[in-house]
Structure 1
Amino acid sequence: MSKSEIEEIEIIISKFLKAGVLLSAFIIFIGFSMLVITGDSGYMGNTYPTNPTAILSGVVLFKPYAIILTGLLILIATPVFRVGVSIIVFVKEKDYLYVKITSLVFVILIISFVLGKVE
C-alpha cells in the first residue's frame, strides 16, 4: 500500500471513531432524557439487563436503562473495531510483527468480553 492509501484509511477510521463516539453520546442522551422525564428505568426493583440480548430486548420496548446501555455498548465497540481494522491495515502493509501484536490485543479484548463477569 502506498502512503496516501494508508493515510486515506486512517482518515476513514478516525471519522468512524468520531461517529461512533457521537452516536453513543446521542443514544445515551436519549436514554437519560427518557429516564429523567419518566422517572422510571423500565425495570422493576433491582433487576437490570446483564447481557446484550436482554439489552436489545429492552431497547425494543423503549426502556430507558436499556437505551443507555446500548449507547455504552456502542462506545465500547468503537475502539475494538479500530483494533480489528488495524490488523487488516498491517496485513496490507506487510508489517507482520504488528499483525501479530494487534491480533493478540484483539483476541485478548474478545476473550475479556466473553469471560467478563456479569452480576
Structure 2
Amino acid sequence: MNRVTDKDIQTVIGNLLRIGVVLSMATVLIGAVIYLFGNAGKTVEYHTFDDAKVHLKSIKSIFTNLPALEGITIIQLGLLMLIFTPIARIVMAAVSFFIEKDYLYVLICIIVLLIIAMSLSGGFAH
C-alpha cells in the first residue's frame, strides 16, 4: 500500500509555492510588457488621484475585464495569483493534516482561512 509521507506532502507544498510565485511573476511581467507598449508616449498625471478612473476594484472586475487583455488587468491577475499562493499552501496543509488525522491542526487551518477570507472581503467594515 502506498502511504503518503510527511516528506511527500512537504515536497508538494514546496513545489506549489515555487510554481505559484513563478507563474504570478510571469503573469505580471507579461502584463507589464503589454501595458508599457499600449501606453507608450502617454503622459501620466501623478498630482491627483481620480478614483473614477480605477475600474479594477474587485476580483470579479479583474476576471470580467480579462478577455480584453489589457496590461493593467493582467498585472492585477498576477498579483492575485501571488496573494492566493500562500492561501493554497494553507489549504494543502489542511488536507495533509486531514490525511494524517490530526484534526486539531485541520481546525487551526480552517480558522486561519476564515480570518484571511474575512480580511480579503473587507472584514466587518461592510
TM-score, normalised relative to structure 1 = 0.82
- Structure (1 or 2) with the larger CA radius of gyration: 2
Task: Report the Cα offset of residue 3 of structure 1.
Answer: 8.6
Q: Within 1, Cα distance between the matches of 2:4 and 2:34?
A: 45
- C-alpha displacement at 1:57, in angstroms? 2.2
Cα pair distance change 1:81/1:54, threshold 3 Å: same
Q: How does 1:103-114 map to 2 (within 5 A)?
A: 103-114=110-121
1:53-107 deviation digits (Å, cap 9, x = unpaired): 2111222001111100000011111110111111111122222322222221111
Deviation of the 1:110 alpha carbon: 1.4
Identity %: 29
Q: Residues 1-119 of structure 1 correspond to what in structure 2 (within 5 A)?
A: 5-39=5-39, 46-115=53-122
| RMSD (CA atoms) | 2.2
Query: Relative contact order (alpha carbons < 8 A, sep ≥ 6): 1 or 2 greater?
Result: 2
TM-score between the two structures when normalised by the length of structure 2: 0.78
Aligned residues: 112
Q: Give the match's secondary structure for 1:94.
A: coil
Distance (Å, rounded) in 2 between the aligned partners of 1:84 and 1:59: 26
Can you give the 5+ residue segments of structure 1 that lack an aligned partner in the other structure? none
> What secondary structure, in the 3-state scheme, does the structure 2 residue paired with 1:76 have?
helix
Checking the alignment, whether the CA contact within 8 Å between 1:86 and 1:102 is kept in structure 2 is yes
